[in-house]
Homo-oligomer: A and B are copies of this chain.
Amino acid sequence: MNFLKTSAPALAAVAVLGACAHTPATTGTTGTISMSTLHAASPALEKYTEKTLLGDLWGRTDLIARDRSIVTLAALISRKDLGELAFHFNKALDNGVKPGELSEMLAHLAFYSGWGNATAAAGVLAPVFQARGIQASALPPATVDLLPIDQKSEDVRVASVSRNVGDSAPGLVKFTSEALFHDLWLRPGLAPRDRSLVTFSSLVATGQVAQLGYHLNRAMDNGLKQAEASEALAQLAFYAGWPNVFTAIPVVRETFAKRPA
């Protein structure tokens, strides 16, 4: 059997990208993995991937496929799961995520998961766009007309930063205000509800419990439904591991409980 050249079945979440034919060790990091590779390494993992993950989880109707793709990509990019990324960018486009939304997700996750995560993801997304004939001119440009800021929500945020950060990190406060909340969050290429879904998913996927309550509340203010957030946790359990989700649960539960019904 040749692990490296087997192309994946159409429905599989994983497909070998050739890389150098003589460098099998690179497959794990940089190309996606074929079902036959999973079979060769772990028939149990192959079964859970086909039946539980791709069958049961993705088939659930509690969260639409488009949103599952957004949650999944936020987790993969935040965790540098580059091997699965090309497949999931294509799946997201097939599930109705727009090219411009993917483009904005990268910029958003640069701030929320680290610059290198986003630039590495750009290295995977650019060839995906190229293969589909999607030009940069079709993406939201660098400078755009911004959405109006919600001043009430912004006042709450500023008060919270002032209370928590104080004068301990003036540079941080400046960039948080100017670059994040007065620019990034107001770019219209990704709806506030979707920016919040990306942020929530990224925080859960990287075990960032301390910011979770604030951002889940913001997400629900921005239109994310409780049932959607709840099902996103099931999606994240698979892509970010069970422990990250169980660690997030107490905060999620408390946030749900404190919101008006």
Which of A30-38, A148-156, A217-225 is the interface stretch? Answer: A30-38
Question: A240 contacts the other chain (Cβ, under 8 Å)?
Answer: yes
Q: Which of A176-218 contact B (CB under 8 A)?
A: 176, 179-180, 184, 187, 189, 202-203, 206-208, 210-211
A49 to B253, CA, bound (A): 37
Residues of A in contact with B, size category: 35 or more
A1 to B125, CA, bound (A): 14
Residue pair B44, A210 in contact (C-beta under 8 Å): no
Residue pair B28, A85 in contact (C-beta under 8 Å): yes
Q: Which of A36-94 contact B (CB under 8 A)?
A: 37-49, 52-53, 56-57, 60, 62, 75-76, 79-86
Question: A20 contacts the other chain (Cβ, under 8 Å)?
Answer: yes
CB distance from A192 to the nearest CB of B (A): 15
- The digit string for A104-125, where 1 denotes a CB below 8 A from any CB of B, is 1011001111111111111111
Q: Which residues of B contact A116 (CB under 8 A)?
A: 76, 79, 81, 83-84, 239
Q: Which residues of B contact A170 (CB under 8 A)?
A: 230
Q: Which residues of B contact A241 (CB under 8 A)?
A: 111-114, 117, 206
Residue pair B233, A169 in contact (C-beta under 8 Å): yes
Output the residue of A84, A129, A168 with the most chain B CB within 10 A. A168
A49 to B210, CA, bound (A): 27
Residue pair B39, A136 in contact (C-beta under 8 Å): yes
CB distance from A228 to the nearest CB of B (A): 11
In-complex Cβ contact of A123 among B31, B121, B187, B231 (8 A): B31
CB distance from A244 to the nearest CB of B (A): 7
